[in-house]
């Protein structure tokens, strides 16, 4: 008989995690309900919710699909479209599980419908797919179900996720041009090392002329790169991998994030990202009925910089003890004074959520300006480096040709 692991709460609210045997998942839920337990999650031992849905799809003749965070926004958008047409959440998910064509979304919808058909609410069903829905999303859906405003909650959540997606796309687009310049510069250097330099050396050696200093430096540097370049590249790759693995640790992430905050352009950008993530996430959570403390804890997980996240955690602890939000954030040293002033006004007038939305809109514009400045600086530096390298190569070659040819004529 299959064995199921579960987490639940008893009548006194105490959390319980255990296992039981049942013919299927529906019978397991019935047994737990008969014991007077409020079920949080039930999974067949040895599998996960997302993996079970994928295996079901594989058994039906479809290749297994890995469910990831990229499926979250398309599913929520499709669900919102059906809810606004008047469908219930259960009926909308059932229709998506039948009609949707994309394999990942179909697997996700089928898994959710399986749980909804067994009596689970949508938020609990989503909670069994942690690879797709994070804790903040599940809590928002739960709040929307409790207040009867699931469609409005989805609309605000979708807008929030779209803003985050647009920011990531803007960042990638901004980095594309400097990256292209770096690739072109590396291509020019490689072309010189492996194609042009050997032919020039053969020409200069045949003329037996004295080379100018610039050409000697160029040839020596090129020979060094040819002989020792592979070893330097391997060492750089190994060093980069070691640094990356160290950065994945909590201590490494905390140290490198502290370094980033000290850099001229990257530091202010990191602060702006923290303010944007804080204002966007907290504003959406509070607007959908999440309690202040729970919303702050969820917002904390959305802050990427570990130094800021630790400071925000301490600020949340002070809010729990009764201190005002603006005052506790001011003691972190991570938030600009204008942001704190706006939050203070919002707290005094009872309009914290509109204040957070206004801060988010302002910092979206600020981050766009910072990205443009960052791209212009990087592009300028890369262009200057390319011009210097190419100009030095051209000068060294031309000066060598003139000097060798002049000495050849004199001879």
Q: Is the pLDDT of residue 55 over 50?
A: no
In a domain, 381, yes or no: yes
Please name the residue that has the structure tokens 């603006």. Answer: 326
Structure tokens at 79: 């669900």
Q: Is the pLDDT of residue 19 over 50?
A: yes
Q: Is 2 helix (H, G, I), strand (E, B) or coil?
A: coil
In a domain, 300, yes or no: yes
In a domain, 324, yes or no: yes
Q: Is the pLDDT of residue 61 over 50?
A: no
Domain count, the chain: 1
Q: CB neighbours (10 Å) of residue 150? A: 24
Rounded to the nearest 5°, which phi and psi values hold at 20? -155, 165
pLDDT recorded at residue 54: 43
Mean residue pLDDT of the chain comes to: 82
Q: For residue range 301-359, what is the model confidence (pLDDT) as tens digits?
A: 888 889 999 999 999 999 888 888 888 888 888 888 888 998 899 888 888 889 998 99
pLDDT recorded at residue 53: 44
> For the residues 245-251, what does the mean pLDDT come to?
90
Q: For residue range 255-306, what is the model confidence (pLDDT) as tens digits?
A: 999 999 998 888 998 999 899 888 888 888 888 778 888 888 888 888 888 9
Structure tokens at 20: 């039981």
In a domain, 247, yes or no: yes
pLDDT recorded at residue 49: 46
In this prediction, residue 409 has a pLDDT band, given cuts at 50, 70 and 90, of low
Look up the pTM and report it.
0.65
CATH number (domain holding residue 261): 1.20.81.30
In a domain, 133, yes or no: no
Please name the residue that has the structure tokens 């910072």. Answer: 370
Nearest to 72 by CA among 47, 87, 50: 50
pLDDT recorded at residue 60: 40
Q: Is the pLDDT of residue 408 over 60?
A: no
**Which residues in 215-239 are b (16+ Cβ under 10 Å) and which e?**
beebbeebeebeeeeeeeeeeeeee
In a domain, 235, yes or no: yes
Domain of 203? 149-411
pLDDT recorded at residue 243: 94
> For the residues 365-388, what does the mean pLDDT come to?
84
pLDDT recorded at residue 245: 93
Task: Give the contacts of 47 (CB within 8 A, at least 6 positions apart).
Answer: 55
Residues 90 and 71: their CA atoms lie apart, in Å, by 19
In a domain, 188, yes or no: yes
Q: How many percent of the chain have pLDDT more than 70? A: 90
Q: Across-strand partners of 44?
A: 4
> For the residues 65-76, what does the mean pLDDT come to?
88
pLDDT recorded at residue 331: 87
Task: Give the contacts of 46 (CB within 8 A, at least 6 positions apart).
Answer: none
In a domain, 91, yes or no: no
Q: Judge whether 276 and 364 are in contact, CB under 8 Å.
A: yes
């Amino acid at each position: 008989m299959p064995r199921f692991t579960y987490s639940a709460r008893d009548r006194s609210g105490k959390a319980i995690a255990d296992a039981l045997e049942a013919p299927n998942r529906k019978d397991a839920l019935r047994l737990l309900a008969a014991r007077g337990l409020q079920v949080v999650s039930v999974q067949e031992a040895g599998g996960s919710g997302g993996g079970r849905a994928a295996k079901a799809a594989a058994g039906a003749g479809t290749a297994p699909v890995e469910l990831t965070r990229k499926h979250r926004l398309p599913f929520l958008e499709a669900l919102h479209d059906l809810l606004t047409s008047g469908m219930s959440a259960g009926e909308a998910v059932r229709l998506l599980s039948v009609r949707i064509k994309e394999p990942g979304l179909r697997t996700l919808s089928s898994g959710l419908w399986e749980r909804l058909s067994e009596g689970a609410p949508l938020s609990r069903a989503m909670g069994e797919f942690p690879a797709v829905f994070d804790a903040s999303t599940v809590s928002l859906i739960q709040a929307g179900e409790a207040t009867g405003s699931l469609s409005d909650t989805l609309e605000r959540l979708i807008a929030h996720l779209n803003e985050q997606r647009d920011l990531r796309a803007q960042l990638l687009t901004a980095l594309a041009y400097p990256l292209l310049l770096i690739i072109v510069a590396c291509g020019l250097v490689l072309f010189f090392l492996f194609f042009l330099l050997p032919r020039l050396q053969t020409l200069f050696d045949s003329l037996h002329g004295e080379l100018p200093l610039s050409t000697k430096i160029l040839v020596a540097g090129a020979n060094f790169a040819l002989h020792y370049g592979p070893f330097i590249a391997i060492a750089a790759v190994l060093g980069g991998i070691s640094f990356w693995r160290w950065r994945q640790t909590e201590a490494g992430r905390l140290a490198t994030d502290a370094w980033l905050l000290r850099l001229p352009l990257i530091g202010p950008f990191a602060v702006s990202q923290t303010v944007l993530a804080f204002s966007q996430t907290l504003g959406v959570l509070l607007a959908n009925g999440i309690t202040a403390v729970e919303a702050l804890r969820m917002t904390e997980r959305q802050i990427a910089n570990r130094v800021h996240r630790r400071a925000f955690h301490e600020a949340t602890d002070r809010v729990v003890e009764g201190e005002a939000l603006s005052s506790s954030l001011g003691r972190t040293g991570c938030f600009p004074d204008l942001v704190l002033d706006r939050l203070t006004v919002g707290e005094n007038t009872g309009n914290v959520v509109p204040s957070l939305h206004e801060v988010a809109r302002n910092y979206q514009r600020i981050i766009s300006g910072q990205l443009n400045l960052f791209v212009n600086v990087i592009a300028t530096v890369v262009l200057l480096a390319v011009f210097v390298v190419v100009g030095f190569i051209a000068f060294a070659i031309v000066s060598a040709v003139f000097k060798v040819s002049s000495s050849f004529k004199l001879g």
